[in-house]
Structure 1
């Protein structure tokens, strides 16, 4: 018998293949998005903190100008074998005062004015969860913008392990906080003026073997009492909370405490742990500053860092 032919092919069924292809592509895309969301645990919106009762006092965008300078500096560091990673860093508040990051911190200055009205003193502690959250950038820039408003400001680098304010401000580090607290120097000997920023500062000093114990000494309270009487605002930059206990010691003596969190780097859980640790030490956290905001097309914010190690600096 002659073969019977059909005008339409039996296989493959094109419509079914197209439908299955679309569904498979959709599932793969959704799975990829969910996987990325699970891997990226960093804070993406201020609402994530506010949902847990943590006030967000300011969102500070990443300075593209400073980031470009730091990329060029890193390139020079790698090629020339420079010894110090923290030297010759631009001071944004003076080198580019119209930068959006500086403008955001000017807004923080206004919010802080009202937040500190009922504080026990005019001492402000600024800390963070982990290294590289940007606490030194935020605290030093805040010191500059407050000084620009005509107030007398003292900035204290209380990170006696890895503080680098002396490099940032290009000041002498032979006499600083560690020398004052160990009784080797008087208060007036350790205070230096950072002309570029318009404020006074106490640098870290030489690295001591017992930073936390020095901060618990009565000399530290006496230093703060002395500074509180002479300055409109005293800003203390401390080591990260999840690494060492120094911030809890300092926080008990400060009238106001703010934390710095970096977008996409620090998680909500980390910030909640920080607040809890401070509360256990009797320190009330006023709020959080979100730093380094980089908005992407997906409305997410980049960075990744999950390391709590905090060793002594060799500088």
Structure 2
């Protein structure tokens, strides 16, 4: 986001400003250590992405995730720990959408001469958006792990699930995750010049992937044998529902890796080869990685709706109700 101020001053409307100001600072520091010859030794391809595309995708994603949250709040059948965690995952996606929409609107208004913002205000906006993005990353990964753990308990401790995962415990977990996400994000921004910040983010990303992979392997390898015990207690339908939830989570995690993977690869390369001309070519397309991140927050609600009939039904009611009110 640090580049936001530079873009505003140059009225560059063809390229969206780079998110994560602390990352941009880190890259700028490393660029000063590389020679101009290195930077020009390769014919790098840079994909230019218009601000209007960022704004459009951000608005669509924001509306989708708001509908998911409203649907879960409205439908009492969705008032369960798993859907509470999905609701929080939707809120995490909303943080990405809101930060993107706010920044892009500032850029467009300024570029068209409709807004004159003091640099000090831009600095504060930059920090706020950085915290929102970092909070989204940490909370999204945390809630993906939480949902995985919830599905694991549902499958292997089905008879004791309601005593283990109570509403009070679910709420406590949600509060802890959000407090940890916001606190760590603020610390990351305060100490963004330290390489340890990037190391922590990459380590957290890899740790959560390993955690989910271990749970998935255990779930899918042992669920078939465990289902016989569940059927003995006439809980076959619940077993099917639990495995369906696990499959939904697998899809969510797969989409998350595809959309956020290039960004985390960007972070790894910043540490491994910050002055390499090959890595610098990769860095030039950071805005493309941001588009993928926004697409993740746009795709997630579609996965919820496709995999959950109850949620899909409620979303249809909300959309139809909104349409008739609009008419």
* TM-score, length-scaled by structure 2: 0.23
Higher radius of gyration, 1 or 2: 1
* TM-score, length-scaled by structure 1: 0.23
Larger strand proportion, structure 1 or 2?
1
